[in-house]
Amino acid sequence: MKYLYIFIGLLWPFFSLQAQDLKHKVVDNDGYEGKTMFGYQGWFASPEDESVRATWWHWGRNFYSTDIEDRTVDMLPDLREFPKNERMSTGYVSKEGQPIEVFSSGKKATVKRHMKWLRDYDIDGVFLQRFISENGDAGVMRFRDEVTKSVKEGTADYGRVFSVMYDGVAGKSKDIIADWKHLVDDLKITEGTNYLNQDGKPLVALWGYTVRETATPAELEEVMDFFENAPEERYRASVMLGVNDNWFKKTEFMPSLKKAKVISAWTPGRYRDQSGFDAYVWNQLRPSLNFCQEHDILYVPVAFPGFSWVNLQNDDPQHPLNAIPRLGGDFFWMQLKGYAEKNVGALYLAMFDEVDESTCYFKTLEKQSELPTEGQWLALDHDGYDLPSDHYLKLAGRARKIIAGEAPITDEISGLEEAIMTLRIIDDAKVELIFPNYGNSSEFEVSVDGGQTFTYKVKAAERTYMIEDLGCGTFNFVIKNAQGEHIPMGEVSLETEVPASPMPASNTVNVAPDQTFSWTQCPAGPVKFTKVFLAKNKDFSDASLQTFDGDQATATFDNLDMLQSYFWKVEIILETGQKFSSEVWSFSTKGKLEVEPATAPLPAIGADEVSLRPLLEWAVGDERTDAFRVLMSDTEALDEGDILATDLTTPEFEITNTLAHGVTHYWRVDQQVAGDWYPGQVWRFLTTSNPLQSIRQRVFAYPNPTTGILNISVDNLQSISVMNAAGQQQPVKVQGSKVDMSALESGMYFIRVVAGNEVNTIKVLKTF
């Protein structure tokens, strides 16, 4: 089997380069088998988060302070996707001089973004940690309830699953039972299709028995009996036990262990290199798998990316920074490879957001230069690897595929996939879409109003797309792929005190001289004046100034020079006297191009006895032409009120409404070049004086069906062409009124016949 893995591993880098699919996959909740789940703490709070626990929690004892005794984490989150109202200030500044900010789990939008990341990186779900040891603190439990609601809503929105995992279980058997009833009855967590089941019942995890000596076998037996035999069926559940790595030696727990549906042994800190892991596989994993196979229990091993808790341990030298190095993901891959080779049935990843002990997989700061100047901290480049902030989410997504049997395990890291869509916020005012190469979609559409309208069309090959014209507010992003499927991308809130998102955008060319200028601002208080400066010199020495009373977000400057570069900026002054000034933006105006007009009109100039429903044709005048429009009137002075058709992509237009007979008609063709319309010459023709010619000629095609030669019978035949059902012209030989279709495949075709300046289309069946 080892050789098979190596062989596939050599091939897999090729396959990993293939395009990803832009799809919204929904995870089923029917069993843990084949799934990969994160542990999710959701325990971070800040005095700024306006939650029921508005205090520093788990970032540190006081994260406004930079003292060692006030911080408890070693890693910090990457918040480039977080809007301003989800970023909490701290007392730290990075080595680059940037303020260090963190998030709060008390913000629903933040928790839901974490659930979006599960979907984006193709990970099945989370075990939401619930520390029942804290149930004596009503504020903490209310906070955890709010996080639970956010996880439930987020996993539903993004097609993931979740389960509750109780920790701190010692002496808490009755509290677990009471709390479970609260979750089922009040929070209704088991309703819907996103709570994970096992053997047809909700799966609840109990962590700590066989780990803590104070968690006794009698307590476990009491809880197990409740979940198995509760009088009210809605409280019954399958049980997963989170246990110590030597759990199978705990004979006093055996009656309860054998009743478990899932067992998962804790591994962080149990090994730190290949030799230690090999010993763990032999001494712990192997007997664990044997026991569970014998008793029909799903065994789920735990993989962790690395370990560090120097700040939590107050710089204790016995607990150094980066105690178990991540090695760019090699430490995690070592575990994954070992588990895959043992054919484990599922996987638990510790943990999604555990920055306290640095076992987190979620997006964290990449470089040491981004870390605070004070204290010891860990960035992803600590071991000498240049990694993106989402590297470990990509690893987790790859692990899911391997555990589910959808991809092979390889000796080295390979096959990592990008997130299906990242929404990164720029300057609190713009949203950058970052996405991989999509094989199932040449382009996709973007909605910012929850899928009601799709305003933006994005070419998938571009890999990034910037939206700069949103303004202030909360925007619900939805993507529509080529198959018409709506894919939720979550809400983004934009608010900027400094004027931003200019229109025209900075460095725009070919701006119209009558351009209306606009920008975005979310002032921190009432605005006294808004000032707009426009200049040809970057130092604004020649600036024109417009001043508006109050809050203003548009302006117009008359008589801009053609082919001229301009600079502009906006300044707002609050009633308090505070000033906020934008960046300096630039643009250049367009000039008129020399465009050759369309030529060779049909009907020809001055033609008479023209059909009352003629086919208008012409030759393209300028090769830069993007589109045509046709104007027609019974007077020579044509204007935009005489437009007959616009945005034509081919140099012809069939008039389907009957023209007046015996009348001179004037017409012209305008060409669109670089976004502007350029008028053509005015032509004329005289329609026939015979009103009976408003009746189309009859066109006959025979034999129909045909096996090869098709005959066309019509007066004044001009041309014949053949199209398939997709509207594509077919290569056929036409001689006079005969069409040779013998080389075409069997099927339905459309014969387009032009005769007497009329167009007729006939359906013909080709057979063999």
Contact 123, 390 (CB under 8 A): no
What is the C-alpha separation between 642 and 679, in angstroms, rounded?
13
What is the C-alpha separation between 27 and 370, in angstroms, rounded?
36
Q: Look at residue 10 in the predicted model and tell me its pLDDT.
A: 33
The model's pTM: 0.71
What is the C-alpha separation between 156 and 685, in angstroms, rounded?
66
State the first-to-last Cα distance of the chain, in angstroms, to the nearest integer.
53
* Alpha carbon separation from 213 to 48, 121, 243 (Å, rounded): 38, 38, 12
Closest CA to 60 of 109, 102, 114, 106: 102
SS3 content of the chain, % helix, strand, coil (to 5): 20, 30, 45
Which tokens belong to 467? 């939206």
* Alpha carbon separation from 275 to 97, 272, 334, 664 (Å, rounded): 42, 8, 11, 95
Neighbours of 320 (CB within 10 A): 13
* Alpha carbon separation from 276 to 192, 273, 280, 283, 331 (Å, rounded): 43, 5, 6, 10, 11
* Alpha carbon separation from 191 to 124, 160, 184, 635 (Å, rounded): 18, 14, 8, 72
Neighbours of 84 (CB within 10 A): 15
Q: Look at residue 757 in the predicted model and tell me its pLDDT.
A: 65
Q: For the residues of 21-67, what is the DSSP string, one character each?
A: P--------B-STT-EEEEE----B-TTS-STT-S-BSS-S-TTS-S
Q: Look at residue 442 in the predicted model and tell me its pLDDT.
A: 79
Neighbours of 281 (CB within 10 A): 19
Q: With a cut of 70, list the residues of the chain below it in pLDDT.
A: 1-19, 439-441, 691-698, 757
Which tokens belong to 508? 């725009």
Going by their DSSP bridges, the two strands 544-549 and 554-556 should be labelled as: unpaired
| Phi/psi at 527 (5° precision) | -95, 130
* Alpha carbon separation from 37 to 31, 127, 188, 356 (Å, rounded): 12, 7, 21, 20
Closest CA to 359 of 45, 36, 147, 41: 41
Contact 585, 569 (CB under 8 A): yes
Q: For the residues of 216-272, what is the DSSP string, one character each?
A: -HHHHHHHHHHHHH-SSGGG--EEEEEE-TTGGG-GGGHHHHTT-SEEEE--TTS--
Q: Look at residue 2 in the predicted model and tell me its pLDDT.
A: 27
Q: Look at residue 653 in the predicted model and tell me its pLDDT.
A: 92
What is the C-alpha separation between 713 and 717, in angstroms, rounded?
8
Q: At which residue do the structure tokens 């005190």 appear? A: 497
Q: 659-686 as b/e, with b when 16 or more CB fall inside 10 Å? A: bebeeebbbbbbbbbeeebbebeebbbb
Closest CA to 309 of 256, 369, 360: 360
Q: Look at residue 343 in the predicted model and tell me its pLDDT.
A: 95
| DSSP-derived 3-state class of residue 454 | coil
One-letter identity of residue 616: L
The answer for residues whose C-beta is within 8 angstroms of residue 110's C-beta and 6 or more apart is: 82, 86, 103, 104
Q: Look at residue 591 in the predicted model and tell me its pLDDT.
A: 76
Q: Give the relative orientation of helices 217-229 and 173-182 as an angle to the nearest 10 degrees.
A: 30
Q: Give the relative orientation of helices 108-120 and 138-157 as an angle to the nearest 10 degrees.
A: 40
Which tokens belong to 665? 């008609």
Which tokens belong to 397? 């997504």
Which tokens belong to 595? 């465009």
What is the C-alpha separation between 438 and 465, in angstroms, rounded?
14
| DSSP-derived 3-state class of residue 294 | helix
Closest CA to 704 of 641, 623, 613, 765: 765
Q: 216-234 as b/e, with b when 16 or more CB fall inside 10 Å? A: bbebbbebbebbeebeeee
Prior bond of 77 cis (ω within 30°): no
Rg of the chain taking only CA atoms, in angstroms: 35
Task: Kindly report, residue by residue over 680-721, the tens digit of the pLDDT.
Answer: 999 999 988 876 554 556 678 889 889 999 998 888 888 899
| DSSP-derived 3-state class of residue 333 | helix
CA dihedral for 648, 653, 656, 661, sign (positive or negative)? positive
* Alpha carbon separation from 483 to 27, 441, 479, 480, 538 (Å, rounded): 20, 8, 11, 8, 48
